[in-house]
Chains A and B, each alone.
Chain A
Amino acid sequence: MTRLAKRIFYKELVSYKKRSSTYLSPIVFFLITIALYPLALSNDPADLAFLAPGITWICVLLSTLLSIQNIFNEDFEDGSLDIFFSLRVSTLSLVIVKILVNWIFSSLPIIILSSTVVFLLFLPSEALVILLTSLLIGTPVISLFGALAGALSLGKSSILGPAIVLPLSLPILILGTSAVSSFLNGENPSFYFLMMLAIFIFLLPLICYACIGALRLHYE
């Protein structure tokens, strides 16, 4: 099982490397949306610093939406998924590896990029660590929901994915922004981190099996 997972992992890495648009477009989208907020709201550093955690989280959430369709769609279209489901191999490792690679390529660059909000949105630099930690814990959950939405809406209209992911991700959005703003208010944010971690651990097996079930629907 681990050997299979490793092979899928390398195969995914190669295929993501070839399709640079899949991981570049979320980055571009993220930077543009970050730039839209000061233009639309205000350029006052005090206002922006107050709004920075929320703006960053919303931009991260929206830009990860862009990559949802890519998680399973290519393998679905070229028939690799067919082979996986007809072979008696562990589909669980396939799903987990796919989610992991998708997170590495679509969320991780954005998390690294989001440290620029210290300059762009005047987030107090001591809160940056908290923001990055909340993103690191929170985005895997969003990737899980994204994978489920991608599996359910395989070969369907692309508007379906966001309609499924966004309502499901509300708790993560709330907890993530609350962690940063409670830190800025001088409180201890560890409660929010632990809650997000608990949600991730709780949902990981559930969503993975739901993904398998959803993928199997297309082969009945």
Chain B
Amino acid sequence: MNKTFSNLKTFYHKLGSSPWFYKISGITIPYVALFSFLFLSIGIVWGVFFSPTDFKQGDVYRIIYMHVPAASVSQAIYYTMTVAAVVSMIWRMKMAGIFIKSMAPIGASFTFLALISGSIWGQPTWGTWWIWDARLTSTLVLFIFYIAIISLYSSFSEKKSADQAVSILTLVGAVNLPIIKKSVDWWNTLHQPASIKFTESSSISPEMLYPLIISIFGFYLVVLLSGLMAMRAEIAKREINKEWFKNY
């Protein structure tokens, strides 16, 4: 027990060191790339070509294999950024700042993908591109948060203060996002009769579910891959004049 704890502690300290991370990520990236390609292609190909057609929506529903993973990933990225923001505020770990900086554009693009694929899905099934539903609105707000974080980061010239400023904003956003979600729910029940059900009343069948799970997993791997690559690029950008980087 004690040993695992101390191992975890050394791992945590190693995570804070950019040369170590640069080395390890360089080794793992090819494997992550391979697995993300595998999972994503299996999930998407199975879902799009081999899963049964939905009897209510027809073939349109197949966009679920992109939409649901993107939506899930877009929120998960914000949670990880919140954890990194806490780490960056308390321990001033520079890798945490690099993490937030690299993940914010990825999160923004996946949120955008979720919004776009959702509206492409909504057009044939609900007959409208956009509806001011609770879930759509809070996803849009999440997207705006990502943009605000990116623009705040880019407004600082000093990297260290940029990291801290972005951590503060990420934390305040993380506190505020549940409040926004809840208040949008109330607003929705007050202003809009629940005419369209967004969650299917019938549970999803296993033939559709398995490719969906694989595809969600593939999306997470893609996020991991792009996150590792973006962090590597950011490390290289910041430490280009350091001794270890020249000798790498």
Chain A interfacial positions (CB closer than 8 Å to B): 148, 152-153, 156-157, 160, 163-164, 166-168, 170-171, 174-175, 178, 181-182, 195, 199, 203, 206-207, 210, 213-214, 217-218, 220
Which chain B residues numbered 126 to 185 have a C-beta less than 8 Å away from chain A?
141, 144-145, 147-148, 151-152, 155-156, 160-161, 164-165, 168-169, 171-173, 175-176, 179-180, 182-184
Interface size counted on chain B using CB atoms at 8 A: 29
Residue B1, interface by CB 8 Å = no
Q: Are A152 and B186 in contact (CB under 8 A)?
A: no
Listed residue (A206, A207, A210, A220) with the most chain B CB atoms within 10 angstroms of its CB? A210
Q: Are B176 and A171 in contact (CB under 8 A)?
A: yes
* Complex CA distance for A170 and B161, rounded to whole angstroms: 27
Which B residues are CB-close (under 8 A) to A217? Answer: 161, 164-165
* Complex CA distance for A157 and B152, rounded to whole angstroms: 10
Residue of B nearest to A156 (CB): B155
CB distance from A10 to the nearest CB of B (A): 30
Which B residues are CB-close (under 8 A) to A148? Answer: 168, 172
* Complex CA distance for A157 and B151, rounded to whole angstroms: 10
Residue B190, interface by CB 8 Å = yes
* Complex CA distance for A214 and B89, rounded to whole angstroms: 11
Given known contacts A156-B155, A174-B186, A207-B172, A167 and B141 CB-to-CB distance under 8 angstroms: yes
* Complex CA distance for A25 and B1, rounded to whole angstroms: 64
* Complex CA distance for A218 and B168, rounded to whole angstroms: 14
CB distance from A42 to the nearest CB of B (A): 20
* Complex CA distance for A156 and B151, rounded to whole angstroms: 11
CB distance from B181 to the nearest CB of A (A): 9
Which B residues are CB-close (under 8 A) to A157? Answer: 155
Q: Are A181 and B190 in contact (CB under 8 A)?
A: yes
Residue B187, interface by CB 8 Å = yes
Q: Are A152 and B183 in contact (CB under 8 A)?
A: no
Given known contacts A148-B172, A182-B190, A220-B160, A214 and B145 CB-to-CB distance under 8 angstroms: no
* Complex CA distance for A93 and B183, rounded to whole angstroms: 31
* Complex CA distance for A169 and B151, rounded to whole angstroms: 18
Q: Are A210 and B148 in contact (CB under 8 A)?
A: no
| A160-B152, A163-B152, A203-B175 known, 10 other contacts, Cβ within 8 Å | A163-B148, A167-B173, A168-B172, A170-B141, A178-B187, A178-B190, A182-B190, A199-B179, A214-B165, A217-B165
* Complex CA distance for A167 and B147, rounded to whole angstroms: 11
Listed residue (B148, B161, B173, B184) with the most chain A CB atoms within 10 angstroms of its CB? B148
Q: Are A206 and B175 in contact (CB under 8 A)?
A: yes
Which B residues are CB-close (under 8 A) to A160? Answer: 151-152, 155
Q: Are B148 and A213 in contact (CB under 8 A)?
A: no
Q: Are B161 and A218 in contact (CB under 8 A)?
A: yes
Residue of A nearest to B185 (CB): A174
* Complex CA distance for A170 and B183, rounded to whole angstroms: 8
5 contacts between A and B (CB under 8 A): A152-B168, A170-B141, A170-B183, A178-B187, A214-B165
CB distance from B44 to the nearest CB of A (A): 32
* Complex CA distance for A40 and B89, rounded to whole angstroms: 47
* Complex CA distance for A199 and B179, rounded to whole angstroms: 8
Residue of B nearest to A160 (CB): B155
Q: Which of B144, B165, B183 contacts A175 (CB 8 A)?
A: B183
Given known contacts A167-B145, A199-B179, A178 and B186 CB-to-CB distance under 8 angstroms: yes
Q: Are B148 and A164 in contact (CB under 8 A)?
A: yes
Q: Which of B151, B164, B182, B184 contacts A213 (CB 8 A)?
A: B164
CB distance from B48 to the nearest CB of A (A): 35
